[in-house]
Chains A and B, each alone.
Chain A
Amino acid sequence: MTVLELTSVSKSFGALKVTDDVSLSVPKGQALGVIGPNGAGKSTLFNLITGNILADQGRITLLGHDVTRRPAMDRVRMGVGRSFQIPQPFEGLTVFENLLTAAAYGRGLPESAVAGDCADVLRDTGLLGKANALAGSLTLLDRKRLELARAMATGPELLLLDEIAGGLTEAECRTLVETIRGLHGKGITIIWIEHVLHALNSVVERLLVLDFGKVIGIGEPAEIMASKEVREIYLGMEV
């Protein structure tokens, strides 16, 4: 079954084409990595999938439904969860309340029905001890964990992770990768933008390379990393 399908999706900001005729199909349960240099349009691609911005051209279907013109909140309820590259917690709420909001609205259920599930997500992401702390008081690692936890709380079929490992120490990164691998093991479809390649390649089964808004390669990680074009563009190497 296909979870997500993009057909010739394009988006411009003024004269700048940030997403250029992107087509992509992601089957259920797959973990897809997205790489590309800064400004390649990776985060914009995410925003198009989540509905935070709308596409100029093309078609986006989610679990067989056309969602091209649907706003972000509808897509969350259909099963798209996301983390932001720069953590955007609800700072005046506690960690637990952040999840409670995400779970209650993302799944359309009363608070009492989702409280237990929120506690489970907190345990899985290592945040249980900080459940009642204000989100504004968290360290970077915990903010990243909260991004992941809040996205998980919405009960996603498709989880979009935007540079969740960036800025973390090696040890912190390993912890987070373990968590993500655990989620993948539960059958959740994942699309993950990441510059920390070893972290990414230890989880994903397929890699997509973006440059100037275009897909310049998609396939098995080993094969993609070995391709001359990708090494030149992405790693800046003369091979």
Chain B
Amino acid sequence: MQVTVTTRTRSSSIAGYAAIALIVIGLALPAFASRSLIQDLFFILTMLTLAQLWNLIAGYGGMVSVGQQAFVGIGAYAMFAGVILWGMDPVPAILLGGVAGFLLAIPMAFFAFRLQGAYFAIGTWVIAEVTRLIIAQWKTLGGGTGTSLPREATSDIMGVEAIAQLFGLRDAAARDVLAYWLALLLAVGTMAAIYALLRSRTGLALAAVRDNDNAAQSVGVDARRVKWMVFLAAATMTGLVGALIYVQTARISPDAAFSVTTWTAYVIFIAVIGGIGRLEGPILGVLVFWGLQTAFSDYGSWYLLALGLIAIAVMLLAPRGLWGLIADRWGIALFPVQRRLILEGTRHG
């Protein structure tokens, strides 16, 4: 039969142009934005990237990990090791974060993939805690109390001088601009890669494995391979993000770098309230989260309680997240992945 298959929707074409415009504006932003806005955007972009990566493995792959802080932490520590032990420049040392995330993901997947559902979630958490405890023994990198990037390393990061001159900034502000650009690069690169993956044949396999592992194998999908591939890729990218975050803060401790609250609970919050299993979800979720964080984070534990209540309310009232509500009401999909079958001759019918 003569058929056409499309994923395109009217809103997706508009979204494509809007995304390109936003990226261009994002790149040019340091020329006129304040330093505090650049810092806020750095936070938003890095949390967005982490949420997209968690969404990839949990929302699309069905692997609900509560151990993503392991990759943030190991990535950050690998970058610190590169700078402190081997005298690397912090920016290329970020790549070590990716390598470390990848390497840690191999034993983690080996053990955790034997577990299902809630056991998988707890298993990943336990492995992350074990990693934190081991790293806290590493005395040259500050042990349990942590350490800072040495002054000579942070004062001489590649590209900072050029940025300082270009925008007429002091070194500290120029470092923020560099970190922001790298965060923008990672966020855009991650989302583009996930979108491409979901639109490829592997995207179908991933959804099939999530919905029914057994049936997926019965139509020829190599479920194990798909899960490994996605888990390793997400861990690598999470390691890169972790390293970048700690280039910006320049100070590390095991408790902060392996924090389950910051790097997994917040990240899950973002994905859940935005909408799991769709690229638009974390984008909306991170903006809501950032708004709440800016307005209420001074309230300490009350703030955390409120976050929990909001998450519960969204799960009960809008199980597919806030973006799910929007998509259902107006039928909008900015990054559609659903393949629709159009029969020849009925295209306009």
Interface residues of A (CB under 8 A from B): 50, 52, 71-73, 76-77, 82, 84, 88-94, 96-97, 100-102, 104-108, 110-112, 115-116, 118-120, 122-123, 128, 131-132, 150, 153-154
Contacts and interface: CB of A to CB of B under 8 A. Distances in A.
A96 B216 CA distance: 15
A73 B207 contact: no
A73 B5 contact: no
B218 A52 contact: yes
A73 to B, nearest CB: 5
Contact of B214 (A52, A94, A131): A52
Contact of A90 (B215, B220, B223, B341): B215
13 contacts: A73-B222, A88-B215, A92-B210, A92-B211, A93-B208, A97-B207, A105-B219, A105-B221, A111-B204, A118-B341, A119-B1, A120-B1, A132-B340
A218 to B, nearest CB: 26
Given A101-B207, A106-B220, 7 more contacts: A72-B218, A73-B220, A73-B223, A84-B218, A88-B212, A104-B201, A115-B5
Given A90-B208, A92-B277, A131 B341 contact: yes
Contacts of A101: 204-205, 207-208, 216, 219, 221
Contacts of B341: 96, 115, 118-119, 122, 131-132
A93 B1 contact: no
A108 B205 CA distance: 12
B211 A76 contact: no
Listed residue (B5, B207, B338, B341) with the most chain A CB atoms within 10 angstroms of its CB: B341
A116 B2 CA distance: 6
A100 B218 contact: no
Interface residues of B, number: 28
B204 A100 contact: yes
Given A73-B222, A115-B5, A88 B214 contact: yes
B217 interface: yes
Contacts of B1: 116, 119-120, 123
Interface of A (DSSP majority class): helix
Contacts of A52: 214, 217-218
Nearest to A50: B218
B339 interface: yes
Nearest to A131: B341
A77 B1 CA distance: 23
A135 B259 CA distance: 39
B340 A119 contact: no
B3 interface: yes
A116 B219 contact: no
Nearest to A77: B220
B220 A108 contact: yes
Contact of A97 (B2, B218, B222, B338): B338
A116 B217 contact: no
B204 A110 contact: no
Given A132-B340, A150-B219, A97 B201 contact: no
A115 B207 CA distance: 18
Given A84-B215, A105-B205, A132-B341, A115 B3 contact: yes
B217 A94 contact: no
Counting from the closest, the 4 A-B pairs by CB-CB distance are: A105-B220, A102-B219, A76-B220, A88-B215
Nearest to B2: A116
B206 to A, nearest CB: 10
A102 B223 CA distance: 13
B220 A92 contact: no
B220 A93 contact: no
A154 B217 CA distance: 12
A90 B212 contact: yes
B343 interface: yes
A216 to B, nearest CB: 28
Contacts of B210: 92
A112 B6 CA distance: 11
Contacts of B339: 94, 96-97, 100, 111
A161 B340 CA distance: 28
B219 A154 contact: yes
Given A88-B212, A94-B338, A76 B218 contact: yes
A122 B5 CA distance: 14
B342 to A, nearest CB: 9
A123 B208 CA distance: 22
Listed residue (B5, B212, B219) with the most chain A CB atoms within 10 angstroms of its CB: B219
Contacts of B3: 115-116, 119
A118 B1 CA distance: 9
Listed residue (A72, A101, A104, A123) with the most chain B CB atoms within 10 angstroms of its CB: A101
A128 to B, nearest CB: 8
